[in-house]
């Protein structure tokens, strides 16, 4: 009865070419700015030139006199509708449009609605806003001083301090530090940076007054959560809100928050009765949308003289800008920062973070990382090197001495995380062997003797991704599960709908591969849909490398539910008991009778044409997957740098990334994720940074000064893998989109410090600019003269 | 050639562009950027906008065969030009080797920079059929990609170069899409 | 980012262009490739009422040697220099310069004339032209005049062109025997303006002594700076490690850098010294024929 499968299944482990590419390479992607609805108007935003000011008056008369300008919306208009403020994900509130004061430069002040984007821009230029500047505060340490300007007088607490958070065992940590033979301490600043997906944010909001339905095409990584939030804020019933996240031109965390522009566009559509498009300029995106990092960290590491690491103590001032609009799970104001003990077996750790308001846009979104993990990894990976230097030990040797041993997994960390699986020595040894570590050390010694500067940097990081178990993780009370729905059609093709939302990760391909593997259907015959809240099952969206750990798991579990039903149909078709069947080579076979088998395609047809009496027809399933734990991908990175003694420039000669993300769905896509992640790790290590002057003016407000790496700055990344499956994930995967962004910066920083370590240099804050390096060279008399 | 509008002193100009072989004529303001002509007048949305400082290259199109950032040209400035956009790469149902290369070597992720990146690559390979890795990296240094880290973009262009050289060596039954 | 409204003209003769400039001299901008002007207009940092586009004016795209000079028409695109065999073989320092202006796509429209006439001290050609002692030909209602590059560059974004004058061509003296020049630029990333850059030009006599030196600095002052003391010092001396080091030190002293996102002032001054030494070495190598006349050199790892 069974026939050999003619079309290859190509499930797990195959480098299947991406299904989504067909439209993208033809210019047929459909991004938000490509959407054009009949009668659509355009919205543009007036922004504050001041970081801190009261608004005395807004005069829109000249703008309204412009041809094409239809309306000007201000905070007072929104206030009348109760919409001048909106809730943030962290339980704070945030201005949509200000009624009487602005709290950061480039803050939205008013919106102009016009017939097209040119008329809207003309209108913006003619809105006359009268400000009275107030003294701003942009340094979070100064913001904590008693006489600092108050950023948020709307709050009951008249201070810029937002919250204090801590994890670990303070007493035990202090005790170990008091007894420690060796203590190293560094101040590390992890600068404010911006994700800068090449597509900016925007939306098309369309309110149908007859149906009472609001449809929003939106650049969002989390359409379902947005729908719920919109319903709660606007009182529009949730079934009358339709969020569509079409093709998204990169997210990296920047498209998780709700920005004021989205809300204003919805209001404008309701007010004008027309669809309204809002698309940010790059400058607006870079100046006003939420930022990442901005952590001022003091870290101490206690150890024995033989290099045994014992305890870590960390204090942090976190600059959250004017609104605490970080995109973290509700119970974690500092995200998963407490994973800071990393890959090392420590007796104790204590981590403290204090959140602070400043006159800057909101901080605390990810930059291609899971909730503050990059800050944590940079700290521990730098501190390990600082300790190695202090002890005159090779940093690889020190790491190997202190790794959590493979046999100790699952491992409970001193701050309470349970690492699912890991084999850190294997990854590091593989990295050292592939790059020729010993030979590089010899070369370095020879070069150093000649006065040349070369450095080798390691990073052996552990990530924490896949939020999360719902007992611990929620966003605004919505539990962080995720979902999949699969329908197998009579002729054996299938549609999969998932609660997460791709922004380039290739879900249309990888999720089809999961189903192909589980059901034995060719990957070509499986369609994956997402991003439409009217059709996809509810999910929390794609960020923090959670898609494969959560929705990927849901997809596998839903497919297994289908396979269970299919087994009964197969038994019916083969006239045997289900117990006599085995799933082998993508077919149900009668045990001991290999020729007697049915394929899923045959079963699917039977499910609609010849299903057993008493069984429901059809072949479909839904799963809402609540992961039992997070997953802990890890890696071992080696970076080799050369330093130009005449200019201080750092050149990455080689960079090898050994990643372990558990079982791999599509190796081609995993490599692509790692290449991109490494580049976004290098960027803040060497190039990207956002700073403000004393008046609160952003210094890098466009791509002339915010330095995204080009193909010329980016080295030819080398990659390889180890595979340590997650024991609790249905197919042993861990998630990989962000590992490299998290792991790369300390490898680069460690390499540069290593090149200069013989001069006594122990730390350089990122970004490591040529002038920071040159200053060190000059001070130590080794600059080229 | 020009008409005076009633409400302002603004003059409009009649501009004709040939985009992917098809003429488009419109009466436009001098300030209309080429990228908006392509996206909104001609309705070809494959050309994207990623920045406002001529940095990112998402808007790259070929103007008379040469890559140009269409957000930094006025439509009036290129009146009469031949424009090639991503929509014009596929010919008679056959992908351009550069398009094929981007699929085969996973040269794209979110797809937003891809059209501009591919057009830069097409122009490079028309000028230099056998570029070194360094020449490829230099050629695409005016196009930013945030997703791929460029490694696979370089491989995609190398793949296309190989395909195009081989197609030239053994005359193919149908042209591979490169302009002749 | 949408420009404000303006009137646009694309005259077909130089006379017509000049005539248009005379009508609204203070509100008119001349446009060559538009690669500096259009970004400024998109940010509404420039809001000219009138734009005169030179694209239809004939003869502005000449690129040839004539009467002892290399003639670069005002509308010659940067990319044209990069692909020109004449430039590659005879004027490799111009190739050094063109190939580090903005990025390769911008260079397809950006012009050498625009790079000079915009007079941004961060632009790359001004210093190179100072080092090469170029002259510029301008035409206005009163006829033509030639302007030495040192007189042309007045201040930041200010040249000695009159409001009704159009830059027609740039004249670079043909290199004498045993001449070489080079441009060394240090930038934060590709496409960036210089942290600092140095243009060097030397002519040697048969004994290797320097008979003429040109040394000029990019983006370390209100305009391209001629390092006169360094030039005088080198004249009559052989180019060796010692004289190059001293000249580089004098060049650094001529810099007037400020501190900004491209680094602190003292760093930039130090970079002028590093880059001057590298540019002089490269120029000397070219003068003596000890290296091929092509290839880019930046500030990169030596």
Tens digit of each residue's pLDDT (9 = 90 or more) over A77-95? 999 999 999 999 888 999 9
Q: Is there a single domain that holds both residue B133 and residue B162? A: yes
Instruction: Give how far A471 is from chain B: nearest CA, Å.
Output: 33
Q: What is the pLDDT of residues C13-43, one digit of tens each?
A: 999 999 999 999 999 999 999 999 999 999 9
Residue A160 vs residues A136, A616, A668, A692: alpha-carbon distances, Å: 12, 61, 47, 18
Has A563 been annotated as catalytic?
no
A613 at C interface, C-beta within 8 A: no
Domains of chain A in start order, with CATH, are 21-28+482-625 (3.30.365.10), 32-134+200-248+255-288 (3.90.1170.50), 292-467+629-779 (3.30.365.10)
Residue A564 vs residues A232, A570, A619, C66: alpha-carbon distances, Å: 39, 10, 10, 86
The correct answer on CATH 3.30.450.20 for the domain covering C7-56 is no
∠ CA A393-A394-A395, nearest 5°, is: 105
Which residues from C are below 8 Å from A778, CB to CB? 270
Q: Which pLDDT score is estimated for A17?
A: 98
Given the residues A368, A497, A546, A589, select the one marked as catalytic. Answer: A368
CB atoms A27 and B142 under 8 Å: no
Query: Helix H segments across A301-344?
Result: none
Question: What residues does each domain of chain C span?
Answer: 7-56, 63-173, 179-287
DSSP state of A87: E
CB atoms A676 and B147 under 8 Å: yes
Which among A213, A250, A257, A234 has a CA at the least distance from the CA of A32?
A250
Q: Measured between alpha carbons, how far apart are the two ends of chain C, in Å? A: 40
Q: Using an 8 Å Cβ cutoff, are C153 and C121 in contact?
A: no
B70 at C interface, C-beta within 8 A: no
Q: Which pLDDT score is estimated for B179?
A: 37
Instruction: Give how far C266 is from chain A: nearest CA, Å.
Output: 9
Q: Using an 8 Å Cβ cutoff, are A684 and A378 in contact?
A: no
Separation of CA A133 from chain center: 36
Q: Is the peptide bond before A410 cis (omega within 30 degrees of 0)?
A: yes
Has A221 been annotated as catalytic?
yes
Helix, strand counts (H, E) of chain A: 19, 32
B60 at C interface, C-beta within 8 A: yes
Has A448 been annotated as catalytic?
no
Overall residue count recorded for chain C in this entry:
302
CB atoms A774 and C267 under 8 Å: yes
Residue A558 vs residues A480, A483, A730: alpha-carbon distances, Å: 18, 9, 11
Query: Chain C interface, mutation test: which of A640, A647, A713, A769, most C Cβ atoms within 10 Å?
Result: A647
* CA distance linking residue A512 with residue A15, whole number of Å: 12
Which residues from C are below 8 Å from B52, CB to CB? 1, 39, 42-43
Q: Is there a single domain that holds both residue B24 and residue B82? A: yes
Given the residues A203, A369, A639, A661, select the one marked as catalytic. Answer: A369
Q: Give the residue on A whose Cα is nearest the Cα of C302.
A: A644
* CA distance linking residue B123 with residue C124, whole number of Å: 25
SS3 A96: coil
Is A249 exposed, middle or buried (CB count within 10 Å of its CB: 0-12, 13-18, 19+)? buried
Q: Which pLDDT score is estimated for C291?
A: 65
Strand C28-31 relative to strand C50-53: parallel, antiparallel, unpaired? Answer: parallel
Residue B24 lies in a domain: yes
* SS3 sequence of A449-496: HHCCEEEEEEEEEECCECCCCCCCCEECCEECCEEEEEEECCCCCEEE
CB atoms C109 and B68 under 8 Å: yes
Which among A399, A390, A402 has a CA at the least distance from the CA of A181?
A390
Q: What is the pLDDT of residues B42-100, one digit of tens each?
A: 999 999 999 999 999 999 999 999 999 999 999 999 999 999 999 999 999 999 999 99
Q: Is there a single domain that holds both residue B82 and residue B159? A: no
* CA distance linking residue A21 with residue A123, whole number of Å: 39
Tokens (6 digits) for A301: 């590491």
User: For chain B, what is the mean pLDDT?
Assistant: 91
- Chains in touch with C (≥3 Cβ pairs < 8 A): A, B
Tokens (6 digits) for A222: 């989390």
Given the residues A221, A287, A505, A673, select the one marked as catalytic. Answer: A221
The correct answer on CATH 3.30.465.10 for the domain covering C63-173 is yes
Residue B176 lies in a domain: no
- Given B71, B88, B105, the domain boundary residue is B88
Q: Is there a single domain that holds both residue B81 and residue B131? A: no
CATH number of the CATH domain containing B110: 1.10.150.120
Q: Is there a single domain that holds both residue B12 and residue B64? A: yes
Instruction: Give how far A374 is from chain C: nearest CA, Å.
Output: 24
Chain B / chain C CB contacts < 8 angstroms: 86
What is the dihedral sign for C-alpha A164, A169, A171, A172?
A: negative
Query: Chain A interface, mutation test: which of C3, C43, C189, C193, most A Cβ atoms within 10 Å?
Result: C189
Residues above pLDDT 70, as percent of chain B = 89
CATH number of the CATH domain containing B77: 3.10.20.30
Q: Using an 8 Å Cβ cutoff, are A586 and A520 in contact?
A: yes
Query: Chain A interface, mutation test: which of B44, B47, B104, B112, most A Cβ atoms within 10 Å?
Result: B112
Q: Using an 8 Å Cβ cutoff, are C209 and C238 in contact?
A: yes
Q: Is there a single domain that holds both residue B53 and residue B82? A: yes
- Reported as type and span, the H/E element at residue C70 is strand C69-73
Q: Which pLDDT score is estimated for A370?
A: 85
Residue B89 pairs in a beta bridge with none
Residue A462 vs residues A294, A404, A777: alpha-carbon distances, Å: 21, 11, 33
SS3 A758: helix
Q: Using an 8 Å Cβ cutoff, are A202 and A279 in contact?
A: yes
Nearest to A649 among C2, C5, C301 (CB): C301
Q: Is there a single domain that holds both residue B110 and residue B163? A: yes
CB atoms A647 and C186 under 8 Å: yes
The DSSP annotation for B107-128 comes to --SS-SSHHHHHHHHHHHHHH-
Which residues from C are below 8 Å from A121, CB to CB? 1-2
Chain A / chain C CB contacts < 8 angstroms: 71
Which among C14, C135, C123 has a CA at the least distance from the CA of C75?
C14
Q: Is there a single domain that holds both residue B37 and residue B76? A: yes
Residue A194 vs residues A6, A60, A200, A372, C278: alpha-carbon distances, Å: 48, 32, 12, 14, 36
CB atoms A20 and B111 under 8 Å: yes
Q: Using an 8 Å Cβ cutoff, are B47 and B35 in contact?
A: yes
Mean pLDDT over C217-223 rounds to: 98
User: For chain C, what is the mean pLDDT?
Assistant: 95
Helix, strand counts (H, E) of chain B: 5, 6
* CA distance linking residue A767 with residue A760, whole number of Å: 20
Res B34 pLDDT > 60: yes
Q: Which pLDDT score is estimated for A3?
A: 47
* CA distance linking residue A355 with residue A421, whole number of Å: 32
Interface of C with B (CB under 8 A): 1-8, 10, 31, 34-35, 38-39, 41-43, 51, 53, 55, 79, 102-106, 108-109, 190-191
Q: Give the residue on C whose Cα is nearest the Cα of A650.
A: C301
Q: How confident is the model at residue B171 (pLDDT cuts 50, 70, 90)?
A: low
Q: Give the residue on A whose Cα is nearest the Cα of C265.
A: A771
Instruction: Give how far C144 is from chain A: nearest CA, Å.
Output: 37
* CA distance linking residue A418 with residue A409, whole number of Å: 9
- Given B49, B65, B88, the domain boundary residue is B88
Residue found under tokens 């997402």? A530
Q: Give the residue on B whose Cα is nearest the Cα of A702.
A: B53
Q: Other CB atoms closer than 10 Å to residue C3's CB: what's the count? A: 25
Res B170 pLDDT > 90: no
Q: Which pLDDT score is estimated for B86?
A: 98
Does the reported pTM lie above 0.90?
Answer: yes
User: Nearest 5°: phi and psi at A369?
Assistant: -155, 160
Instruction: Give how far B133 is from chain C: nearest CA, Å.
Output: 16
Is A26 exposed, middle or buried (CB count within 10 Å of its CB: 0-12, 13-18, 19+)? middle
CB atoms A710 and C191 under 8 Å: yes
Cα dihedral A165→A166→A167→A172 (10° resolution): -170
* CA distance linking residue B147 with residue A368, whole number of Å: 10
Res C263 pLDDT > 80: yes
Res C302 pLDDT > 60: no
Q: Is there a single domain that holds both residue B42 and residue B112? A: no
Cβ density class C264-284: b for 16+ within 10 Å, e for less: beebbbbbbbbbbbbbbbbbb
Q: Which pLDDT score is estimated for C66?
A: 96
Q: Which residues contact B15 (CB under 8 A, 6 or more apart)?
A: B25, B26, B27, B28, B32, B37, B75, B76, B79
Residue ranges in chain A modelled with pLDDT below 50? 1-5
Instruction: Give how far B176 is from chain A: nearest CA, Å.
Output: 15
Residue A748 pairs in a beta bridge with none
Which residues from C are below 8 Å from B64, CB to CB? none
Query: Helix H segments across A531-592?
Result: 553-574
Q: Is there a single domain that holds both residue B14 and residue B79? A: yes
User: For chain A, what is the mean pLDDT?
Assistant: 96
B67 at C interface, C-beta within 8 A: yes
* Total number of domains constituting chain B: 2
Residue C219 vs residues A640, A649, C147, C193: alpha-carbon distances, Å: 32, 18, 22, 8
Q: Is there a single domain that holds both residue B48 and residue B72? A: yes
Interface of B with A in 131-170 (CB under 8 A): 133, 136-138, 140-154
- Reported as type and span, the H/E element at residue A749 is helix A739-756
Q: Using an 8 Å Cβ cutoff, are A512 and A525 in contact?
A: no
* CA distance linking residue A709 with residue A707, whole number of Å: 6
Q: How confident is the model at residue B9 (pLDDT cuts 50, 70, 90)?
A: low
As a CATH number, domain C179-287 is 3.30.390.50
C-alpha neighbours within 13 Å on the C-beta side of residue C69 = 17
Q: Measured between alpha carbons, how far apart are the two ends of chain B, in Å? A: 33
CB atoms A712 and C186 under 8 Å: no
Domain assignment of residue B82, given as a range: 2-88
Q: Is there a single domain that holds both residue B81 and residue B19? A: yes
SS3 A446: helix
Has A368 been annotated as catalytic?
yes
Q: Using an 8 Å Cβ cutoff, are A256 and A222 in contact?
A: yes
CB atoms B77 and C53 under 8 Å: yes
Instruction: Give how far C68 is from chain B: nearest CA, Å.
Output: 32
Strand A650-660 relative to strand A718-721: parallel, antiparallel, unpaired? Answer: parallel
SS3 A404: coil
* CA distance linking residue A744 with residue B71, whole number of Å: 34
Which residues from B are below 8 Å from C51, CB to CB? 30
Tokens (6 digits) for A466: 């896949």
Q: Which pLDDT score is estimated for A544?
A: 83
Residue B36 lies in a domain: yes
* CA distance linking residue A625 with residue A615, whole number of Å: 25
């Amino acid at each position: 009865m069974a026939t050999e499968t003619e079309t290859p299944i190509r499930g797990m482990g195959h480098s299947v070419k991406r299904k989504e590419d067909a439209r993208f390479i033809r210019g047929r992607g459909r991004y938000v700015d490509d959407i054009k609805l009949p009668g659509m108007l355009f919205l543009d935003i007036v922004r504050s030139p001041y970081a801190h000011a009261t608004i005395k008056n807004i005069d829109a008369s000249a703008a309204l006199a412009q041809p094409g300008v239809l309306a000007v919306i201000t905070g007072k208009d929104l206030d009348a509708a109760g919409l001048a403020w909106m809730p943030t994900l962290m339980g704070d509130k945030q201005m949509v449009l200000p009624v009487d004061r602005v709290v950061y430069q480039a803050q939205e002040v008013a919106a102009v609605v016009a017939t097209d984007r040119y008329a809207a821009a003309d209108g913006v230029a003619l809105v006359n806003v009268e400000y009275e500047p107030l003294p701003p505060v942009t340094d979070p340490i100064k913001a904590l001083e008693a006489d600092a300007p108050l950023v948020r007088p709307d709050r009951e607490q008249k201070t810029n301090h937002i919250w204090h958070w801590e994890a670990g065992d303070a007493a035990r940590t202090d005790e170990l530090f008091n007894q420690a033979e060796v203590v190293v301490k560094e101040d590390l600043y992890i600068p404010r940076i911006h994700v800068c997906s090449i597509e900016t944010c925007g939306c098309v909001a369309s309110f149908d007054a007859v149906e009472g339905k609001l449809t929003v095409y939106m650049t969002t990584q989390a359409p379902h959560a947005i729908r719920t939030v919109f319903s709660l804020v606007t009182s529009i019933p949730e079934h009358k809100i339709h969020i569509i996240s079409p093709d998204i031109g990169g997210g990296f965390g920047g498209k998780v928050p709700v920005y004021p522009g989205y809300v204003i566009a919805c209001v404008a559509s309701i007010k004008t009765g027309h669809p309204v498009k809002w698309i940010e300029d790059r400058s607006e995106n870079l100046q006003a949308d939420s930022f990442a990092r901005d952590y001022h960290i003091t870290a101490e590491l206690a150890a024995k003289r033989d290099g045994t690491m014992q305890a870590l103590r960390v204090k942090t001032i976190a600059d959250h800008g004017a609104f605490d609009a970080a995109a973290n799970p509700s119970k974690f104001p500092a995200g998963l920062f407490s994973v800071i003990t990393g890959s090392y077996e420590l007796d104790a750790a204590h981590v403290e973070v204090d959140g602070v308001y400043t006159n800057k846009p909101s901080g605390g979104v990810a930059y291609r990382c899971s909730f503050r993990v990059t800050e944590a990894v940079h700290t521990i990976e730098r501190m390990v090197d600082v300790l190695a230097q202090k002890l005159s030990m090779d940093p690889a040797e020190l790491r190997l001495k202190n790794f959590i041993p493979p046999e100790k997994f699952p491992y409970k960390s001193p701050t309470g995380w349970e690492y699912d699986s890991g084999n850190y020595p294997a990854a590091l040894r593989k990295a050292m062997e592939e790059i020729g570590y010993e030979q590089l050390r010899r070369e370095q010694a020879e070069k150093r003797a000649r006065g040349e500067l070369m450095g080798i940097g390691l990073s052996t990081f552990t990530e924490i991704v896949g939020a999360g178990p719902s007992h611990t993780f929620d966003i605004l009370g919505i539990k962080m599960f995720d979902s999949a729905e699969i329908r197998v059609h009579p002729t054996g093709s299938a549609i999969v709908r998932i609660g997460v939302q791709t922004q380039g990760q290739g879900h249309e391909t990888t999720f089809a591969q999961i189903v192909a593997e589980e059901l034995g259907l060719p990957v070509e015959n499986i369609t994956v849909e997402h991003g439409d809240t009217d059709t996809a099952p509810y999910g929390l969206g794609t960020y923090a490398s959670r898609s494969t750990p959560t929705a990927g798991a849901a997809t596998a579990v839903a497919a297994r539910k289908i396979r269970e039903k299919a087994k009964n149909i197969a038994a019916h078709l083969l006239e045997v008991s289900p117990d006599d069947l085995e799933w082998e080579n993508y077919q149900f076979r009668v045990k001991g009778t290999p020729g007697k088998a049915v394929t899923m395609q045959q079963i699917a047809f039977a499910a609609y044409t010849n299903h057993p009496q008493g069984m429901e027809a059809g072949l479909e399933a839904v799963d809402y997957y609540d992961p039992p734990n997070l997953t802990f991908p890890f890696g071992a990175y080696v970076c080799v740098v050369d330093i130009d003694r005449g200019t201080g420039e750092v050149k990455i000669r080689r960079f090898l990334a050994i990643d372990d993300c558990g079982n791999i769905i599509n190796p081609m896509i995993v490599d692509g994720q790692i290449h991109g992640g490494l580049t976004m790790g290098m960027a803040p290590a060497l190039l990207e940074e956002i700073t403000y002057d004393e008046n609160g003016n952003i210094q890098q407000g466009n791509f002339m000064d915010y330095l995204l790496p080009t193909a010329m700055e980016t080295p030819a990344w080398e990659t390889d893998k180890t595979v340590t499956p997650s024991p609790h994930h249905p197919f042993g995967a861990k998630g990989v989109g962000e590992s490299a962004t998290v792991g790369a910066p300390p490898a680069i920083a460690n390499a540069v410090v290593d090149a200069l370590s013989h001069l006594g240099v122990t730390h350089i804050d990122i970004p490591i600019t040529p002038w920071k390096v040159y200053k060190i060279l000059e001070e130590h008399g080794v600059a080229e003269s | 050639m020009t008409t005076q509008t009633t409400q302002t002193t603004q003059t409009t100009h009649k501009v004709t562009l040939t985009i992917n072989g098809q003429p488009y004529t419109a009466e436009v303001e001098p300030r209309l950027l080429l990228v908006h002509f392509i996206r909104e007048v001609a309705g070809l949305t494959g050309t994207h906008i990623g920045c406002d400082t001529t940095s990112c290259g998402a808007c790259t199109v070929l103007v008379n065969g040469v890559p140009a950032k269409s957000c930094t040209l006025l439509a009036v400035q290129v009146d009469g030009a031949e424009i090639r956009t991503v929509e014009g790469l596929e010919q008679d149902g056959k992908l351009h080797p550069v398009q094929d290369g981007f699929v085969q070597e996973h040269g794209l992720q979110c797809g937003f920079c891809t059209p501009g990146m591919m057009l830069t690559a097409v122009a490079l390979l028309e000028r230099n059929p056998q570029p070194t890795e360094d020449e490829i990296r230099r050629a695409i240094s005016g196009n930013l990609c945030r997703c791929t880290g460029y490694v696979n973009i370089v491989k995609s262009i190398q793949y296309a170069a190989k395909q195009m050289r081989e197609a030239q060596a053994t005359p193919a039954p149908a042209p591979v899409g490169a302009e002749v | 980012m949408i420009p404000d409204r303006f009137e646009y003209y694309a005259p077909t003769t130089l006379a017509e262009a000049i005539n248009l400039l005379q009508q609204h001299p203070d509100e008119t901008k001349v446009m060559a490739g538009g690669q500096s002007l259009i970004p400024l207009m998109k940010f509404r940092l420039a809001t000219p009422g009138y734009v005169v586009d030179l694209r239809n004016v004939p003869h502005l795209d000449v690129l040839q040697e004539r009467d002892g000079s290399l003639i670069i028409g005002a509308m010659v695109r940067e990319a044209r220099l990069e692909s020109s065999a004449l430039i590659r073989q005879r004027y490799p320092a111009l190739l050094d310069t063109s190939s580090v202006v903005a990025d390769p796509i911008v260079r397809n429209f950006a012009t050498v004339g625009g790079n000079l006439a915009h007079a941004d001290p961060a632009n790359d050609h001004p210093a190179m032209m100072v080092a090469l002692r170029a002259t510029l030909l301008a035409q206005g209602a009163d006829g033509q005049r030639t302007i030495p590059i040192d007189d042309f560059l007045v201040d930041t974004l200010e040249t000695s062109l009159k409001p009704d004058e159009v830059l027609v061509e740039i004249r670079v003296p043909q290199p004498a025997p045993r001449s070489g020049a080079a441009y060394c630029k240090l930038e934060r990333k590709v496409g960036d303006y210089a942290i600092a850059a140095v243009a060097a030009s030397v002519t040697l006599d048969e004994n290797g002594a320097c008979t003429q030196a040109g040394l000029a600095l990019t983006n370390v002052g209100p305009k391209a700076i001629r390092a006169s003391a360094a030039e005088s010092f080198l004249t009559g001396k052989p180019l060796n490690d010692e004289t190059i080091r001293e000249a580089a030190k004098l060049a650094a002293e001529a810099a007037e850098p400020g501190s900004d996102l491209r680094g602190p002032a003292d760093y930039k001054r130090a970079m002028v010294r590093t880059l001057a030494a590298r540019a002089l070495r490269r120029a000397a190598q070219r003068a003596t024929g000890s290296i091929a006349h092509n290839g880019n050199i930046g500030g990169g790892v030596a």
